[in-house]
Amino acid sequence: MTTTREAGDAPAILALADGRVFRGQAFGARTTVVGEVVFNTAMAGYQEIVTDPSYRGQLVCLTVPEVGNVGCNPEDRESIRFGAEGLIVRALSPVVSNWRATTSLSEMLSSRGVPGIAEIDTRALTRHLREQGAVMGALSTDGTEPEALVARAKAAGSMEGRGLAHEVSTRESYAWSEPTWHTTAAPADVHVVVVDFGVKLNILRHLADRGARVTVVPSTTDADAILALRPDGVLLSNGPGDPAALHDVIANVAALLGRAVTLPVFGICLGHQLLSLALGGRTYKLPFGHHGGNHPVRDDMHRAVRITSQNHGFAVDARSLDGAGGARVTHVNLFDDTVAGLRLNDRPLFGVQYHPEASPGPHDASGLFDDFLAAVRGYAARPVS
């Protein structure tokens, strides 16, 4: 059972598998959780980060010095049920001041069963992760002793080999029509099927903004079931974990690509990795991943550099794309030259290793949804024999 904890009313401990221990103050839920510790460099958007299903199995350290000052609200959550296992911050604001706020960060975390730790040196933790790579950790706000927490962190398995998408996917198909909170949805004239591997709600909102009738289906949905819905386009969503562990999904995506060669397909983050694997490519684990809203990406398609929102721990091996179904790299992360996007030369299929829907982050790449919907409308208008 979990209960609300306000920052300062109880101690909290973060223990890493390598033996390093950080002591701070508890907030959020009273519990103990284990996960991979990663850092996120975004300057805003803590609610969207915590509620992003791509953080399943991870404890998120925010590098921004203070969080919580604008509270939380229902419109800005990225998932109703899933997200980060725990939150690590330098300072939690004692005051909530924003006209859209309906609850505090601590109360929101408690309602989701998520613990938080404040008043630790997040700079030291971030430097440690930069030097050592992402490590497993245990976060406790219920009084568990440090030695026991280190042991739990050591016993936890790596994120490699963990196919977590099925854990955060919807169990039933559903329709979506809600636009972004400040926008009115355009009249729907095309049908997009979104395969949910941990989809962020803002992806669905952006599709509705642009006049798509959206059907969200479970991660286990096979090619026959997707095509039976008569989509004009398919979007493979973001999600958590190791893409190479999702053998059933890779087979389903490969079957879809083989059966519907002119159907537009767009992959975002995990969806991009699954596209690559279905085409015969390979993925690998990054040392500490890409998590933040300030990643510059070179877009070779439009001859531009865009600042992007990113959240992933795995990447596509560029060398593996040589000869992989006609795929070519179209976007490059300028921090480390990793693959940030691909497309096929002879069909409307493309993917990006970042978040065009942002939430949080810059809106530089939101035009990718326009590109996708243009391809979708082109497919819908094709002559049918």
How many C-beta neighbours within 10 Å does residue 154 have?
A: 15
CA 165 vs. chain centroid, Å, equals 11
Instruction: Give the CA radius of gyration of the chain.
Output: 21
Q: Cα–Cα distance between 113 and 30 in angstroms, integer?
A: 8
Strands 115-118 and 86-88 turn out to be parallel
Q: How many CB atoms lie within 10 A of CB 286?
A: 15
| Phi, psi dihedrals of residue 5, rounded to the nearest 5° | -130, 120
DSSP lists the bridge partners of residue 296 as 307
Which residues belong to the active site? 269, 355, 357
The DSSP secondary structure of 65-105, one letter per residue, reads SEE-TT-B-GGG-S-SS---SEEE-SEE-S----TT--B-H
350 forms bridges with which residues in the sheet? 266, 343
Question: 116-139: b or e for each residue (b if 16 or more CB lie within 10 Å)?
Answer: bbbbbebeebbebbeeeebbbbbb
Instruction: Determine phi and psi for 296, rounding to 5 degrees.
Output: -75, 135
Sign of the Cα pseudo-torsion (152, 60, 220, 250, in order): negative
360 cis-preceded (ω within 30 degrees of 0): yes
Write out the two tokens for 92. Answer: 């939690």
What does each C-alpha distance from 126 to 60, 137, 165, 291, 334 come to in angstroms? 11, 13, 27, 12, 21
Question: In the beta sheet, which residues pair with residue 29?
Answer: 4
**How does DSSP classify residue 355?**
B
What's the CA gap between 197 and 203, in Å, rounded? 12
